Structure 1
Amino acid sequence: MDYTRQTAYSDPREFTALLAELPSDVPSLAAAIRNLVVHYRASEIAFSDERLREIDSRWVDRLLAHDQERFPGSLLAPRPEQDRIAGCCRDFTLLSVAALRVHGVPARSRVGFADYLEPGFHSDHVITEWWDGTRWHAVDVEFDPEWGMPVDPLDVPLGPGGLRPASQVWTAYRRGDIDVNKCGVGGAENPLRGAWFVRNYVLNEIAHRYGDELLLWDTFGVQSLELDGDLTLIDEVAALVTAADAGDASAEQRLEHRYRNDPRLHPGPTVTSYSPRTEEAAELVLAR
């Protein structure tokens, strides 16, 4: 896959020129993205129902349209925190991926579980990867390096202590090496955790890898709200992700072929979405 090309989700469309004005160096770009997006939940801002609708914006141009309604013009002008786009880690990431692609830099999103957000818990998270011509670098554009995180947001390891890709977490669970009930959405009372949740995130991980950068609460294929179905299928694709990450070009080709040709692994024309805004299931058409 050519990671310099926009996907249906990352394409800024009429806002391409605005994204092109953002800096291309990753630290400066990350700061610019933080000026555009605020986490709808972690910020503890009491957003109105109308503002919360922004969290269900699948496409970069829709995200930027929300911003431009309030701040027409340059994306570099400061925005008050409460007036930034209401989103989540996926939106910080997708905007940065879109901007890097505008600059011709290969970039993609990585879906997994962060060890650095909540002590003793593996929190669901999405971060950015960019290619320097030799290797991939993982960065968490949501967090300022000056905030004193347990990891350097500009150099996040893909593994223990950093972001564990969902494929790694699934394999560790199947080996009995991780408490899967400590993997999911953070917060002591949140039920969105466990083996079914990790299984779903393995499929989210490969969907994002191959250009279907869906909302984290969209479900498709063999995803469900319980642990069911053919788990060996998840074992196989998780193993292929791990091999591809290690540089196995054959594994990368086989993984992409399986993703694109097996309807159990990729979204069809619709998804079932469980937006935290409504907490109700809704079948939604992906076509624009």
Structure 2
Amino acid sequence: MDWTRQTRFSDPGRHHERLAALRGDVAAIGGVVRNLTVHYRASGIDFPPSRLAEIDTRWVSRMLDLDHERFGGAPLDTPRPIEQRLVGCCRDAALLTVAALRAHGVPARSRVGFAGYLVPNFHVDHVIAEYHDGSRWIGVDPGVDLSDVPLTPAGLHTAAQTWRAMRRGEIDPSTYGVGPDHEIGGPWLILDYLTRELAHRMGDELLLWDLFGEGIPYSRMEWSELPTELPDDLTHLDEIADLLIAADAGDDAAEQKLGARYAEDSRLHPGATVFCASPRGARYAVELASVNQEAD
């Protein structure tokens, strides 16, 4: 896969030159991303519903449209008041970073998993960016200005690594989720994030609450309605986790097989429509062909 190419989600569209005008080093891009975005929960700001709706913005082109409308096309490194920045989450900060790096010809991608450095004794669901420096992939967390994030339990425990560890009984899945006091977490979230990690790797950098996958029981269910236990037949997900881990280790054959499995298995990829179960309370279907589709 050519990681320098924009995907349908990371493509900045008419804003390409605005990204290309930035300094191309990772630290500078991270600073710009923090200037453009504000976390919908971690900031502690009580955003009105009209602003909170920004968390469902999937497309970098639309994110930059919103910024352009709000700040009159000012350069992206011009300081923005925190209350007026794009309301989003870690996925958005990571994807904007990836888009900016790709605009400079740098191979970049988003990584989905659970961070071991945000909350003591807990792994928080998280997305970071990775870029290739010519010799290796390097993880960066633009949200907290952290560079060289390792793919380990103390850094970002990828969804594939977490899945394998859970299946082997090596971790307590209840310590993986949105937060220690939040109901969303555990085995079902680890399952969801495994398929989401694959989707992001394949260029479908969906929102963390875009639900997809044929035959997956959580596709339109509230978290409290999920069955207590995972399904019995999960061998296809064990295979995906093993392939992701092998591909991370440099196995080109595993990378190619991931692409084939993703294309062939309707349980693993989004179709034309995903179901958005937004944390702002909205529930609606989204046609992925439409960049500008938004919920009421």
Per the shorter chain, which TM-score range? over 0.9
Deviation at 1:191, TM superposition (A): 1.1
The residue correspondences of 1:10-49 to structure 2 (distance < 5 A) are 10-49=10-49
Alpha-carbon distance between aligned partners in 2 of 1:98 and 1:223, rounded to the nearest angstrom: 30
The residue correspondences of 1:1-288 to structure 2 (distance < 5 A) are 1-73=1-73, 74-144=75-145, 153-188=146-181, 190-221=182-213, 222-225=215-218, 226=226, 227-228=230-231, 230-278=233-281, 280-288=282-290
The answer to whether the Cα contact below 8 Å between 2:91 and 2:127 also exists between their aligned partners in 1 is yes
Deviation at 1:283, TM superposition (A): 2.0
Deviation at 1:258, TM superposition (A): 0.5
Alpha-carbon distance between aligned partners in 2 of 1:66 and 1:111, rounded to the nearest angstrom: 25
The answer to whether the Cα contact below 8 Å between 1:89 and 1:142 also exists between their aligned partners in 2 is yes
The answer to whether the Cα contact below 8 Å between 1:110 and 1:208 also exists between their aligned partners in 2 is yes
Alpha-carbon distance between aligned partners in 2 of 1:127 and 1:230, rounded to the nearest angstrom: 30
What TM-score do you get using the length of structure 2 for normalisation?
Answer: 0.92
Q: Percent identity?
A: 56
The answer to whether the Cα contact below 8 Å between 1:92 and 1:142 also exists between their aligned partners in 2 is yes
Deviation at 1:281, TM superposition (A): 3.3
Q: Which amino acid aligns with 1:35?
A: N
Deviation at 1:228, TM superposition (A): 2.9
Deviation at 1:287, TM superposition (A): 1.2
Answer with 82-91 or 21-30: which moved more.
21-30
Q: Which amino acid aligns with 2:260?
A: H
Deviation at 1:22, TM superposition (A): 1.6
Cα distance change on mapping 1:256 and 1:46 into 2, 3 Å: same
Alpha-carbon distance between aligned partners in 1 of 2:211 and 2:168, rounded to the nearest angstrom: 26
Deviation at 1:229, TM superposition (A): 6.3
Cα distance change on mapping 1:220 and 1:229 into 2, 3 Å: farther
Question: 1:48-91 CA deviation, whole Å, 9 max, x = no partner?
Answer: 11101110001001111111111122111100111110000000
CA RMSD of aligned residues (A): 1.1
Alpha-carbon distance between aligned partners in 2 of 1:109 and 1:223, rounded to the nearest angstrom: 23
**4+ aligned runs moved over 4 Å, structure 1:** none
List runs of 5+ in structure 1 lacking aligned partners: 145-152
What TM-score do you get using the length of structure 1 for normalisation?
Answer: 0.94
Alpha-carbon distance between aligned partners in 2 of 1:224 and 1:21, rounded to the nearest angstrom: 45
Alpha-carbon distance between aligned partners in 2 of 1:257 and 1:165, rounded to the nearest angstrom: 21
Alpha-carbon distance between aligned partners in 1 of 2:233 and 2:120, rounded to the nearest angstrom: 32
What is the count of residue pairs matched by the alignment? 278
The answer to whether the Cα contact below 8 Å between 1:200 and 1:223 also exists between their aligned partners in 2 is no
Question: 1:198-230 CA deviation, whole Å, 9 max, x = no partner?
Answer: 001000001000100000001111544343363
